[in-house]
Chain A
Amino acid sequence: EPEVTQTPSHQVTQMGQEVILRCVPISNHLYFYWYRQILGQKVEFLVSFYNNEISEKSEIFDDQFSVERPDGSNFTLKIRSTKLEDSAMYFCASMGDSLAKNIQYFGAGTRLSVL
């Protein structure tokens, strides 16, 4: 079964450093998403991406965040200057090309620890 893959599984960084979280969506999918989940809390939407541009973003997704699809397979989330409160699990999701079956499939996540 095709799956969304995320790397690394765990990223440790110092406050103020830049991090890039990587995702490989399911190959024929066209819609891409990032969510985050702070430990013990609910999953929160960050951003949706379609046709090489952001479709929608939440208030969490401020100027410190950016997303990119640098090639035909990867989808990345960059945090320019990490803060302690950015520590969380970050999930990538992708959705297919058929509006008749819009189901988001999630990756296993990247645990980001900001020290």
Chain B
Amino acid sequence: LAKTTQPISMDSYEGQEVNITCSHNNIATNDYITWYQQFPSQGPRFIIQGYKTKVTNEVASLFIPADRKSSTLSLPRVSLSDTAVYYCLVGDRTSGTYKYIFGTGTRLKVLA
């Protein structure tokens, strides 16, 4: 399974766009990239998933370059409630038995 590397922490102000980049140099052909958000004492919450190029949903965008060795989660106009830990995960979506290997994640702090 591909190992991921993310910044340990980031600070931002309310209303700003936040971009969190994840490195996954040894991503495999069948691997998909998934981002989760976790608040203290809660389970990880799915944000977005992608394979290549750009994916957008109602809460975030995910940018994946052609070589797929990194990805960037973009949160538009963050609010205080976006303060959380964000995890980038890669896994083989063709197998239902795959496990997620969580890294330390990026601790985002949104300031007023």
Contacts and interface: CB of A to CB of B under 8 A. Distances in A.
Given A89-B41, A107-B43, 19 more contacts: A30-B96, A33-B99, A33-B100, A35-B102, A42-B105, A43-B44, A43-B100, A50-B96, A56-B97, A56-B98, A58-B99, A93-B43, A95-B96, A99-B93, A103-B34, A103-B46, A106-B43, A109-B41, A111-B41
B77 interface: no
Main secondary structure on A side of the interface with B: strand
Contacts, number: 63
A18 to B, nearest CB: 24
Interface of B: 32, 34, 36, 38, 41-46, 49, 87, 91, 93-94, 96-105
A72 to B, nearest CB: 18
Interface of A: 4, 30-31, 33, 35, 42-45, 48, 50, 55-56, 58, 89, 91, 93, 95, 99, 102-109, 111
